[in-house]
């Protein structure tokens, strides 16, 4: 079971360097094994709205979440209260601490292009490691 970081979706939707790896991950992995944080949905929305890609955001929601079966997870306020300790322990910014907190709370492996997770206890997998 995997937690997909925001940067994976942005790689794909903005056709960046690792877009092909992310696409393979999404094609080859059963959707019921894939999860995304509610925070990631908002983060992707912020970036796509900034780029005036409103239709791309609607398509992202529709294809991956609403019809696609990727489960959206959130943290409770009690869980969020613990994020500063995670951030301090692993030297993470808020968004990475949130992702890490979701992965811990739900027992998921983190899939990300972000090397910041490499210094955490859970570590991370890259899209290429999952999409094969």
Reading the block at residue 94, the tokens are 């808020």
Confidence of residue 130 (pLDDT cuts 50, 70, 90): confident
> What is the domain range of residue 119?
2-130
pLDDT tens for each residue of 59-114 = 999 988 888 889 999 999 999 999 999 999 999 999 999 999 999 999 999 999 98
Q: Among candidates 76, 96, 78, which has minimal Cα distance to 86?
A: 96
Query: What is the pLDDT, as a whole number, of residue 64?
Result: 87
The tally of domains found in the chain comes to: 1
DSSP strand pairing (71-73 vs 34-37): parallel
Provide the whole-model pTM.
0.92
The most distant pair of C-alpha atoms in the chain lies apart, rounded to whole Å, by: 39
pLDDT for the residue numbered 131: 55
CATH code: domain of residue 28: 3.40.50.1010
The number of C-alpha atoms within 13 Å of 84 and in the hemisphere containing its C-beta is 3
């Amino acid at each position: 079971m995997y937690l997909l970081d925001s940067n994976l979706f942005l790689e794909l939707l903005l056709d960046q360097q690792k877009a092909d790896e992310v696409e393979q991950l999404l094609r080859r992995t059963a959707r019921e094994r894939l999860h995304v944080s509610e925070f990631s949905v908002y983060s992707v929305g912020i970036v796509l709205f900034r780029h005036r890609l409103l239709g791309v955001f609607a398509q992202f929601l529709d294809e991956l979440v609403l019809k696609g079966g990727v489960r959206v997870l959130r943290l409770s306020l009690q869980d969020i209260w613990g994020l500063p300790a995670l951030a301090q322990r692993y030297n993470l910014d808020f968004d990475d601490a949130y992702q890490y907190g979701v992965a811990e709370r739900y027992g998921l492996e983190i899939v990300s292009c972000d090397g910041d997770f490499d210094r955490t206890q859970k570590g991370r997998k890259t899209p290429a490691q999952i999409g094969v």
